[in-house]
């Protein structure tokens, strides 16, 4: 187990981010792998660093096999869901280029620091490498195209100081880490100059945690007169007189803020308390109303399938979703997605009592999600022991009904509107999360839409 990564002997380096599922997440920015490639390039003297993200490359394997030939070190960034796609690449290296040093790091190793990495991996890094600088030379062409066409991203902070019981941050010994304001502003200016994006997403677990930073960004955008639209994530608890108040919302709307994303999670106060979310239903409503009042869209994310959550709690969530949706087309509903447990934290202790097991070594994760795909956002068969057979079947479909029934009913496109009308009245209102029409719709969605979304 590596304590401090030894950079000596590294010069010709390849950093790889494999895909995480059968499809590719094309156009997405892979911050972890990007940070690592940038760090190696900056920290290793005379380095020659290459970067490959399978999600954003055509002919990925051919490129990988070619580049790896003359490397001394290959680093892989891994979430648990990527292990299935990373291990075959590591096996290829060990078979064809046994002298190459293989290093793995990323959130999987941070979550499971003590796990046996097996014989194929030379070093495992279980902490975050410095991420002060994201070198744009590593940004793949497909991501650049997305920046120009739809939306660019600027990272403005890392981690989170809260410890919500269901969240990965509750099991990590982490706190919110701001990025220096001058760096954020320089990044914004660079991205505008280089890509002229129609929109920017400020990537941050809580953009308003450091309110002075948020205000400085808003002041900068107003001063520069930039025309792009922007969106960010916030806790609803930031909506106070001292933080996000009407005056700030007004300035935000004036400089292009079009959406804030909220982790609403539940409409049941009992569940919110159980999740240690630190927010009330009344506050959720107030924040969303205030946002909408300033013409800013509110994207409200929910989870369900939590141990201890009753049908009555779920009904309170559905009722809150309906109330928020009734505020108009500026409210977007995300989920409710089925809770995905990760080891550690208070909720995991409860989950363990139901006998849910996670693999004990790195290699055992390879096929874990084949039979128990708890990592998939669109997991259709969680098989959780704390849910009944009927709940395991119906809960993963709730988000489809909410998305197509509520969000689409507010769309301008007449086809979407019609589908929305159908799902809202036939499924959402009677809480019917099944039926042949829903099955057919889900089937078509998977076949037709990019990334299955």
Q: Which positions touch ligand B12 (CB under 6 A)?
A: 5, 17, 20-21, 25, 28-33, 35-36, 75-77, 79-82, 103-108, 110-111, 125, 128-129, 131, 158, 168-169, 340, 342, 375-377
- Give the shortest CB-376-to-ligand B12 separation in angstroms: 5
The Cα 445–Cα 411 span in angstroms is 17
Chosen from ligand B12, ligand SF4, none, partner binding at 164 (C-beta under 5 to 8 Å by type): ligand SF4
The Cα 348–Cα 307 span in angstroms is 10
Binding segment for ligand SF4 among 52-60, 134-142, 161-169, 302-310 (CB under 6 A)? 161-169
Q: Identify the DSSP state of 372.
A: -
- Give the shortest CB-257-to-ligand SF4 separation in angstroms: 20
The reply to whether omega before 157 is within 30° of 0 (cis) is no
200 binds ligand SF4 (CB under 6 A): no
Chosen from ligand SF4, ligand B12, none, partner binding at 432 (C-beta under 5 to 8 Å by type): none
The Cα 235–Cα 205 span in angstroms is 9
Give the end-to-end CA distance of the chain in Å, rounded to a whole number.
38
Lay out the site mask for ligand SF4 across 251-290 (x = CB under 6 A, - = otherwise): ------------x---------------------------
Number of residues counted as binding ligand SF4 (CB under 6 A): 9
> Quick one: which of 24, 9, 17 has its CA closest to 138?
17
**Looking at 41, 179, 235, 424, which residue binds ligand SF4 (CB under 6 A)?**
235
The b-or-e profile of 144-158 (16+ CB within 10 A means b, else e) is bebbeeebbbbbbbb
Binding segment for ligand SF4 among 91-99, 138-146, 156-164, 326-334 (CB under 6 A)? 156-164
Q: Which two tokens stand for residue 7?
A: 């950079």
Let me know the angle formed at the C-alpha of 123 by 117 and 126, rounded to the nearest 5 degrees: 75
CB distance 244 to 276 below 8 Å: no
**Looking at 162, 239, 302, 348, which residue binds ligand SF4 (CB under 6 A)?**
162
167 binds ligand SF4 (CB under 6 A): yes
Q: What is the contact surface with ligand SF4 in residues (CB under 6 A)?
A: 160, 162-164, 167, 169, 205, 235, 263
């Amino acid at each position: 187990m590596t304590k401090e990564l030894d950079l000596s002997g590294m010069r010709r380096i390849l950093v790889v981010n494999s895909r995480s599922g059968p499809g590719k997440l094309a156009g997405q920015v892979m911050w972890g792998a990007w940070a690592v490639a940038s760090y190696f390039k900056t920290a290793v003297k005379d380095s020659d660093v290459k970067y490959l993200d399978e999600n954003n490359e055509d002919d990925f394997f051919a490129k990988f096999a070619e580049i790896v030939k003359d490397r001394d070190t290959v680093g892989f960034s891994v979430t648990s869901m990527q292990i299935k796609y990373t291990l075959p690449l590591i096996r290829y290296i060990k078979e064809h280029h046994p002298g190459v040093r293989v290093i793995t790091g990323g959130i999987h190793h941070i979550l499971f620091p003590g796990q046996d990495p097996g014989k194929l991996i030379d070093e495992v890094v279980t902490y975050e490498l410095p991420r002060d600088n994201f070198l744009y030379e590593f940004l793949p062409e497909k991501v650049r195209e997305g920046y120009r066409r739809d939306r660019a991203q600027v990272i403005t902070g890392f981690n989170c100081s809260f410890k919500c019981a269901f969240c990965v941050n509750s099991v990590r010994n982490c706190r919110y880490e701001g990025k220096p304001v001058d760096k954020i502003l320089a990044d914004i200016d660079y991205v505008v100059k280089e890509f002229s994006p129609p929109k920017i997403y400020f990537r941050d677990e809580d953009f308003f945690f450091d309110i002075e930073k948020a205000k400085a960004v808003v002041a900068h955008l107003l001063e520069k007169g930039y025309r792009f639209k922007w969106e960010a994530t916030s806790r609803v608890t930031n909506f106070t007189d001292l933080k996000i108040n009407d005056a700030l919302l007004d300035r935000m709307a004036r400089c292009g803020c079009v959406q804030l994303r909220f982790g609403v999670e539940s409409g049941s106060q009992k569940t919110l308390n159980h999740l240690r979310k630190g927010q009330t239903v009344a506050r959720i409503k107030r924040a969303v109303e205030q946002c909408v009042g300033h013409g800013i869209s509110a994207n409200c994310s929910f989870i369900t399938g939590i141990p201890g959550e009753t049908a009555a709690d779920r009904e309170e969530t559905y009722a809150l979703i309906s109330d928020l949706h009734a505020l108009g087309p500026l409210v977007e509903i995300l989920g409710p997605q089925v809770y995905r447990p990760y080891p550690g934290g208070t909720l995991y202790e409860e989950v363990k009592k139901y006998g849910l097991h996670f693999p004990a070594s790195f290699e055992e994760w390879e096929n874990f999600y084949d039979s128990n795909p708890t990592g998939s956002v669109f997991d259709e068969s969680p098989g959780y022991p704390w849910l009944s057979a009927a709940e395991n079947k119906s809960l993963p479909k709730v988000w489809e009904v909410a998305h197509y029934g509520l969000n689409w009913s507010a769309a301008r496109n007449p086809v979407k509107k019609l589908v929305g009308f159908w799902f809202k009245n036939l499924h959402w209102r009677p809480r019917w999360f099944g039926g042949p029409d829903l099955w057919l719709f889900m089937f078509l969605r998977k076949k037709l839409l990019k990334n299955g979304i």
